């Protein structure tokens, strides 16, 4: 399915042409019919001679409604630039053409309307002026068709030309991440909330859970329609009406985006390659403009990164700070306007830059250039370097490519030694990709962290795994494969719940060993009532605990491992015989005091050996 959009000056016959082609009046508002002028977006559809069905978006031509025009052309595959034969090229013809050029609409047909009002000589003059106007734009060399909506002249030729051009027009890619920029919302009695838009980047199914990106609200797809026909599933590139449950019309406004849950978030700052239109005034650094992205719009401040101003026709790098967040992904095209004119537009290169960039810094410009102009491999490598470590699903979202493309690209980069892939293998969805530099940095951090810990705690077997994970800044999912790789490379060693440098051994000195021997002797002298104020260094006590030679049941009470095992067996035996044990029972059983029995029983509760019932304990 393809979407065709109109463009052109007011009163040049856009809506009349669409009605003649489709027998559908795209002007739906009462004031449009009363004033005979399109104010907002209109929609129609047409079956071409080949049997191909297309959607049509009709846009207003008046300069006062340019923002409505911008909301309609963001998702079109081919444009009809309408020029009236009795007026030729007019101001909005030029501005609409500039917008199509900024949005890189490469497929187009110029339709010269109102053939019935002029002679052949004037038609040829208009065609010549149109060709001059198209020079230097994506429309240069586009075919020109002369028609009359009233006599029918040229309409069949136009339909045939649409067919032939769409034969060589690429269908929209399915990236598995549907986006539906909302251009209309309304309520249908008995059905509830309905929204419309052009579906891009993925498919939608009836019953699917979706998310409203701006509000964060979730809903479920109750029904889908395209061209007033119910469908169970819609593919990218179709005009779609979506009936949603669990949400009201008041939750929507033009500019909202419907998508899968959990992957797309609005941005208040984006890095972009900006291009100025011809014959416009310069754009100055820090100037405030209005940004139009698909159906959304918001004021934004343009920070030029490489110059103080952009003149007409120039390009440059910019970071745009948006007053209201917009949902954007890498590669999205947008337009910037002043109060009364289109200044330029651009392509989103990084929709979520981590920081506000300093200006005139070569490394920043070089990175953005690599992300934007590099080969697919270079672009993916730049994304891994900038966003990594990340799994392939996240990487595909950041680079705005399909999951299969991300997997294939990462495999190639890994084969060339340019990235490090953690997991079962490069190309698996769960795999985590690092740039080589990022992986080397992580290794250095791991070694430094372990060395510092050994220095502070030389008698411990190693640092806890969870502490290392936090120091490395890794998620619970990314840490295990990272640890496996670190161990395989001989960088660190695992020892149960601990991690250490290779060769590290917790070995006390002779003096420390004498302290340990004396302490153990003291514990064994009174096994059920050991000293609680023995002056043993905390590191030595931690070593004994890690080696399993003592059991610390509370901050002050420590039993030798042998005494603890005996006490556990006696507690179990007592409960087996009598069904329960109390603190008083334990005191009598061990010939000791409450000071030792209560911490012991509480510790057994924590170890799930016993369970407290009132003042008694029973076996679990």
DSSP at 65 = G
DSSP string, 97-133: HHHHHHTT---EEEEEE-GGGS-HHHHHHHHHHHHHH
Alpha helices in 416-490 (DSSP H): 436-456, 465-472, 479-488
Tens of pLDDT, residues 174-189:
998 999 999 999 998 8
| Pairwise CA distance, residues 142 & 148, whole Å | 19
Angle, nearest 10°, between helix axes 392-399 and 376-387? 120
User: What domains are there in the chain, each with its CATH number?
Assistant: 2-167 (3.40.50.300), 179-259 (2.40.30.10), 271-361 (2.40.30.10), 374-507 (1.10.10.10), 512-619 (1.10.10.10)
Residue where the block lists tokens 């840490």? 479
Residue 132's alpha-carbon distances to 115, 128, 137, 138, 198, in angstroms, are: 20, 6, 10, 13, 32
The answer, as to whether pTM is greater than 0.75, is yes
Kind and range of the H or E run holding 311: none
CA Rg value for the chain = 35
What pLDDT is stored for residue 426 in this prediction? 52
What pLDDT is stored for residue 425 in this prediction? 57
Query: What burial class does residue 340 get, using C-beta atoms within 10 Å of its C-beta: 0-12 exposed, 13-18 middle, 19+ buried?
Result: exposed
Q: Taking the CB of residue 495, how many other CB atoms lie within 10 A of it?
A: 12
Run means of pLDDT, 10 residues per run, the chain, 620 residues: 94 95 91 86 95 95 88 93 96 95 95 96 96 95 96 97 94 91 90 93 96 94 95 95 90 90 93 95 97 96 97 97 96 94 95 93 91 80 79 83 87 90 68 88 95 89 92 86 92 92 87 92 95 89 89 94 96 95 95 95 95 93
What pLDDT is stored for residue 424 in this prediction? 65
Q: In 150-251, at which residue ranges do the beta strands (DSSP E only) sit?
A: 179-188, 192-198, 204-205, 209-212, 218-226, 229-231, 233-234, 239-245
What pLDDT is stored for residue 428 in this prediction? 64
Stated length of the chain = 620
Q: Taking the CB of residue 511, how many other CB atoms lie within 10 A of it?
A: 8
Kind and range of the H or E run holding 165: helix 155-167
Q: How far apart are the first and last CA of the chain?
A: 65
What pLDDT is stored for residue 385 in this prediction? 81
């Amino acid at each position: 399915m393809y979407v065709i959009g109109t463009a052109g000056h007011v009163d040049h016959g856009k809506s009349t042409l669409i009605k003649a082609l489709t027998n559908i009046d795209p002007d739906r508002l009462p004031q449009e019919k009363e004033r005979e002028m399109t104010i907002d977006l209109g929609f129609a559809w047409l079956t071409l001679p080949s049997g191909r069905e297309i959607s049509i978006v009709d846009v207003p031509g008046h300069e006062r409604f340019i923002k409505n025009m911008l909301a309609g052309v963001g998702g079109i595959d081919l444009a009809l630039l309408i020029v009236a034969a009795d007026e030729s090229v007019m101001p909005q013809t030029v501005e609409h053409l500039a917008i199509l050029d900024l949005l890189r609409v490469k497929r187009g047909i110029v339709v010269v309307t109102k053939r019935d009002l002029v002679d052949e000589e004037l038609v040829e003059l208009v065609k010549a002026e149109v060709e001059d106007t198209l020079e230097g734009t994506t429309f240069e060399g586009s075919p020109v068709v002369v028609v009359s909506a009233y006599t029918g002249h040229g309409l069949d030729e136009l339909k045939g030309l649409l067919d032939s051009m769409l034969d060589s027009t690429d269908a929209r890619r399915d990236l598995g991440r549907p986006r539906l920029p909302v251009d209309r919302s309304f309520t249908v009695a008995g059905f509830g909330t309905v929204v419309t838009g052009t579906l891009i980047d993925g498919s939608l199914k009836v019953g699917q859970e979706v998310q409203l990106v701006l509000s964060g609200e979730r809903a479920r797809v109750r029904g889908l329609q395209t061209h007033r026909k119910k469908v169970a599933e819609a593919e990218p590139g179709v005009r779609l009406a979506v009936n949603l449950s669990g949400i009201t019309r008041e939750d929507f406004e033009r500019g909202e985006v419907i998508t899968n849950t959990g992957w797309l978030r609005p941005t208040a700052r984006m890095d972009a390659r900006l291009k100025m239109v011809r014959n416009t005034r310069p754009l100055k650094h820090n100037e405030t403009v209005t940004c139009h992205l698909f159906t959304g719009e918001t004021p934004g401040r343009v920070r030029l990164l490489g110059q103080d101003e952009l003149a007409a026709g120039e390009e440059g790098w910019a970071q745009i700070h948006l007053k209201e967040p917009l949902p954007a992904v890498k590669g999205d095209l947008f337009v910037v306007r002043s109060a009364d004119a289109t200044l330029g537009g651009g392509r989103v290169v990084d929709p979520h830059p981590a920081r506000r960039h300093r200006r005139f810094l070569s490394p920043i410009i070089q990175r953005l250039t690599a992300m934007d102009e590099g080969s697919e491999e270079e672009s993916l490598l730049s994304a891994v370097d900038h966003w990594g470590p990340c799994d392939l699903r996240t990487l595909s979202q950041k680079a705005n490519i399909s999951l299969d493309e991300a997997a294939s690209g990462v495999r190639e980069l890994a084969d060339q030694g340019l990235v490090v892939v953690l997991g079962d293998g490069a190309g698996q969805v769960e795999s985590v990709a690092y740039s080589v530099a990022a992986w080397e940095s992580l290794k250095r951090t791991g070694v430094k962290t372990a060395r510092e810990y050994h220095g502070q705690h030389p008698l411990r077997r190693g640092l806890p795994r969870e502490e290392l994970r936090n120091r490395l800044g890794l998620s619970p999912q990314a840490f295990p494969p990272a640890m496996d790789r670190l161990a395989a490379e001989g960088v660190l060693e695992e020892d149960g719940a601990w991690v250490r440098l290779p060769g590290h051994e917790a070995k006390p000195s002779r003096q420390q060993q004498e302290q340990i021997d004396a302490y153990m002797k003291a514990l064994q002298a009174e096994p059920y009532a050991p000293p609680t104020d023995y002056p043993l260094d905390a590191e030595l006590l931690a070593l004994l605990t890690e080696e399993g030679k003592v059991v610390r049941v509370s901050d002050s009470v420590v039993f030798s491992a042998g005494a603890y095992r005996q006490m556990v067996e006696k507690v179990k035996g007592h409960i087996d015989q009598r069904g329960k044990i109390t603190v008083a029972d334990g005191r009598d059983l061990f010939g000791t005091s409450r000071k030792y029995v209560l911490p012991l029983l509480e510790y057994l509760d924590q170890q799930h050996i016993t369970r407290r019932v009132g003042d008694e304990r029973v076996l679990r």
